Structure 1
Amino acid sequence: MKKLLIVCLCIMSLGITNAQSPRFYDEIAAFKKQDSIHFPPKNAILFVGSSSFRKWTDVQSYFPNHTIINRGFGGSTLPDLIHYIPDIVWPYHPKQIVIYCGENDIAEDTTITPMQILDRVKTVLKLIREKYPTIPVDYVSIKPSPSRVQWLSKMRAANQLIQQYLKTQANTQFVNVFDAMLNKDGTINQSIFLSDELHMNANGYHIWQKILAPLLM
């Protein structure tokens, strides 16, 4: 009976620990384990953010003249990125950081305002600048996903605020992929998305490649 009680307490303790783990903890832990086996080289280009980067698993092949570290994780939001910056940004000493994050913020909290999204972006940049005060930081605009068409106006407004803000910040750049993902009539080009109408297929990533390639150091 005593042994059974100890086992039950251990299981309960493990459950409490897991319940208290922050979102995407396992993915970040996997990055750390990968780094412990083979740490990425310094002066690479760091891609960080949500699933549009996470699912770009062959991103290195799109930019063969650069060394890319991909640290996209889960369906992360800007607060998730803020939480994990010490784990997935600070350790790598990159020469450039490319961010895609913010789209899930709108989908998860439909009451969020474009100004609140901007405030989160400001926090991300502030944390990056604590460690890397001068390296280039490129923010990829929130993309127009067919499954989230109801929030397009909010996405446009957030993009505009972020673009205006980054113009005032040294060594930063707003990367507009939004317009290139639309048809000539202004509707979303659905042919560049997977069946979930959220994540891109290779055609979508080729659009991003053409826009990003001239900006990478």
Structure 2
Amino acid sequence: MPRAALLLLLLLAVCGHAQPPELPAAAPPPPVDAVSSPDWEADMRRFAAEDAARPPPRGAVLFVGSSSIRMWDLDAAFPELATVNRGFGGSQLRDATWYADRIILPYAPRTIVLYAGDNDLEAGRTPHQVREDFRAFVQRVRRGLPHARIVCLSIKPSPARAHLLQAVHAANVLLRQEAARWDRVEFVDVAAPMLDGGGQPRRELFLEDGLHLNAAGYALWRRQLLPHLRP
């Protein structure tokens, strides 16, 4: 057999038994950016039970957000106003948007006071993500309550989260800018008066945990907020 023919037969034999090249492994899917958490379902059921026992007034000032709202005695702080407290501790801004159908829209409030972003930054969300979450909140409220006012409280500086001071400041700048883009949306700065002359959180405004407000802290918030709640 000619040498060229022999080489061809050998080549065909090798190729016939060769394994196809392995394809590179598929990249894992990106992590899901959860919108909310089922952990708050117990809070939603509690709100529903409270509504059934004592229906809240429509057209009131509704407060929503994390534990700084949940722990606020609104009846004592604002006796001149009809208020509804729908704060649930540990929540993030996205949670208020996710549950708006259940804890905001049914009450048809004339004004919504929002405090969130504190837990968001602690969980690793960036100031820009907090701004985007706030925009989504405003858009959701606008679809259901086109004439309601929204008052956004700045993210507070706290001794327990002093490592976040730079992020808190950056997020508050973005929240103020975003609020200015909308009609009937206001930004209220409670952060600046909570800092001492050295730019650190004033410890006397907080409970022992260094995170939640005491009576003096809530009194400061009332002074900053009340002018924005009058009709």
* Selected match of 2:85 from 60, 64, 70: 70
Pair member with larger Rg: 2
Give the distance between the partners of 1:67 and 1:184, measured in 2 at CA.
36
Give the distance between the partners of 1:185 and 1:79, measured in 2 at CA.
33
* Selected match of 1:193 from 206, 211, 226: 206
- Percent of aligned pairs sharing the same letter: 39
Is the contact between residue 46 and residue 96 of structure 1 (CA under 8 Å) also seen in structure 2? yes
| 1:104 alignment counterpart | 119
Is the contact between residue 112 and residue 151 of structure 2 (CA under 8 Å) also seen in structure 1? yes
User: Which letter maps to 1:23?
Assistant: D
Q: Please say if 1:121 is aligned against 2:137.
A: no
Name the structure where helix makes up a greater proportion of residues. Answer: 1
| 1:93 alignment counterpart | 108
Give the distance between the partners of 2:69 and 2:116, measured in 1 at CA.
9
Q: Please say if 1:32 is aligned against 2:48.
A: yes
Q: Deviations over 1:109-128 (max 9, x none)?
A: 2xx22111100001111111
Q: Secondary structure at the match of 1:47?
A: strand
CA shift at 1:168, angstroms? 1.2
Give the distance between the partners of 1:191 and 1:33, measured in 2 at CA.
36
Give the distance between the partners of 1:23 and 1:186, measured in 2 at CA.
35
| 1:145 alignment counterpart | 158
Is the contact between residue 207 and residue 213 of structure 2 (CA under 8 Å) also seen in structure 1? yes
Q: Secondary structure at the match of 1:74?
A: coil
Is the contact between residue 65 and residue 88 of structure 2 (CA under 8 Å) also seen in structure 1? yes
User: Which letter maps to 2:119?
Assistant: N
Query: In angstroms, what is the RMSD of aligned CA positions?
Result: 1.0
Give the distance between the partners of 2:147 and 2:109, measured in 1 at CA.
11
Q: Deviations over 1:169-213 (max 9, x none)?
A: 000100100001111232210011011110010000000010111
TM-score (norm 2): 0.82
Is the contact between residue 60 and residue 84 of structure 2 (CA under 8 Å) also seen in structure 1? yes
Which aligned pairs between 1:5-84 and structure 2 lie closer than 5 A? 22-56=38-72, 58-84=73-99
* Selected match of 2:175 from 140, 147, 162: 162
Gaps of 5+ in 2: 1-36
| 1:5 alignment counterpart | none
Q: Which has the higher contact order (CA 8 A, sep 6+)?
A: 1
How many residue pairs align between the two structures?
A: 194
Give the distance between the partners of 2:147 and 2:169, measured in 1 at CA.
28
Give the distance between the partners of 1:83 and 1:22, measured in 2 at CA.
11
Q: Secondary structure at the match of 1:23?
A: helix
TM-score (norm 1): 0.87
User: Which letter maps to 1:174?
Assistant: F
CA shift at 1:27, angstroms? 1.1
CA shift at 1:53, angstroms? 0.5
Is the contact between residue 166 and residue 174 of structure 1 (CA under 8 Å) also seen in structure 2? yes
Give the distance between the partners of 1:52 and 1:195, measured in 2 at CA.
15
Is the contact between residue 141 and residue 176 of structure 1 (CA under 8 Å) also seen in structure 2? yes
Q: Which runs of 4+ in 1 moved over 6 A?
A: none
Give the distance between the partners of 1:78 and 1:42, measured in 2 at CA.
23
Gaps of 5+ in 1: 1-20
Q: Secondary structure at the match of 1:199?
A: coil
| 2:29 alignment counterpart | none
| Residues 63-72 or 76-85, more deviating | 76-85
| 1:214 alignment counterpart | 227
